[in-house]
Amino acid sequence: MADRSTAPDTFRCNRPAALFFDVDGTLVDSKNSIESDGDLTECGPSPAIVDAFRRMRDRGHKTFICTGRTLNLVPASLYELGSTGIISGAGATVSIDDEIRFRKQIPVEVVREAMSRLRSAGVEFILEGDAVCVAIMNYGATYTAIKGILTAHSWEELSGLVPDLGFAKLTLSNEHVSLLKREGDFFFEYFDSADLGMGITELTMRGVTKGTGIRHALELLGPGRWLTFGFGDSENDLPMLDEVDIPVAMGNALTSVRDRSMFVTVPVEEDGVVVALERFGLI
């Protein structure tokens, strides 16, 4: 991480930059869709965001979507931004020019043990992978909140739907986080947790974060010293913001994110990303 001594109210970027953008709550205003059980995959960036990505490309900047979503939940509207790459699964997968260049999945035996413990407690959760996401539901229930997410009720059903059992993370309701602590050391040995700010907690492999994803992405870009920016709003963005030179929090960000940022822009519904890009002379 570079020196952050330059005050944001005087800083203007005058060299090529590599920029990393969270999706939900940052590039995309998805809160209303989630709260109303709408289709998350139908939420897209505003015209101002689309134009900003075009202008960044024209100036020679490298842009990365840096999201907790796995690849199968990244809609066409985000691919159409024409970013240099995508860091997905909160750092588990790194793609450059639509080619997967790095991937780390949860070991199958850990997936099985986590599922056994959560199912024994009656907890419903979602396993997320690049190819498919599966909601593990109580018997008789079917997941319908997000289009494209399948439903399973047992290990046998899950294995039938996803034979390779390739998953990057899992998500569950915040109300069940206390259960993880009651399960002893298992979940905290294998997973890091983050509050996504919408009543949902994300469990990712320990040591795999958006920050490690950024490191892989910069290595894959090759030689060059890029000034790095990160834009986010929730806890899984903290490793990203710690990794970059200029961390930017959205106006709708959690307090912990705002406190760790150099600059706080306006909320996502006011195109806070565009406001910050203009402020720093990036577009």
Domain assignments of the chain as residue spans, ordered by start: 17-104+209-279, 108-205
Considering the domain 108-205 in this protein, what is its CATH number?
3.30.1240.10
Which SS3 state, helix, strand or coil, does residue 32 take?
A: helix
The number of CA neighbours under 13 Å toward the Cβ of 20 is: 36
Contact 116, 101 (CB under 8 A): no
Average pLDDT along the chain: 91
Contact 269, 259 (CB under 8 A): no
Looking at residue 146, its pLDDT comes to 86
Cα 43 from Cα 29, distance rounded (Å)? 7
Cα 29 from Cα 112, distance rounded (Å)? 34
Sheet containing strand 17-21, strands side by side: 99-103, 93-96, 85-88, 62-66, 17-21, 227-232, 246-249, 263-264
* Share of the chain residues as helix, strand and coil, in percent rounded to the nearest 5: 35, 25, 40
Going by their DSSP bridges, the two strands 62-66 and 93-96 should be labelled as unpaired
Q: What stretches in the chain show pLDDT beneath 70?
A: 1-10, 31-41
Helical (H) or strand (E) element with 45:
none
Looking at residue 13, its pLDDT comes to 83
Contact 209, 226 (CB under 8 A): no
What are the tens digits of pLDDT across the range 189-244? 999 999 988 889 999 999 999 999 999 999 999 877 889 999 999 999 999 999 99
Q: What phi and psi, each to the nearest 5 degrees, are found at residue 90? A: 55, 40
Looking at residue 181, its pLDDT comes to 79
Looking at residue 36, its pLDDT comes to 45
Considering the domain 17-104+209-279 in this protein, what is its CATH number?
3.40.50.1000
